[in-house]
Amino acid sequence: MKELDERDIDRVIEMAWEDRTPFGAIEMQFGLPEKEVIELMRRELKRKSFERWRKRVSGRSTKHRKKRPKMQRFKSSRQKNISNNSIT
């Protein structure tokens, strides 16, 4: 398991709790595959908190990129376009 400092552990836990953050994003940013994220959560959370988290994310399509439906990201009509490093 990759050695993380306390700040990174807190961020991994935060990302793991977020419904829309896939395990792949955690792996890309911190080098922890899903199995190691689960181990980290088991080690760092209280037992009941871990059980509640596992129940929530088990089979959740948003946590697994392969299970996600194909959809475009939301973009507000009020969002400004950025091109060539200048706001248009």
- CA-to-CA distance for 49 and 45, rounded, in angstroms? 6
Whether the per-residue pLDDT at 80 is higher than 70: the answer is: no
pTM, two decimal places: 0.68
Distances (CA, A) of 60 to 4, 56, 64, 77, 81: 26, 7, 7, 29, 33
CB 8 within 8 A of CB 30: yes
Q: Can you read off the two tokens belonging to residue 77?
A: 């009509």
State pLDDT tens for residues 11-50.
999 999 988 889 999 999 999 999 999 999 999 999 999 9
CB 23 within 8 A of CB 54: no
**Per-residue pLDDT at 58:** 85
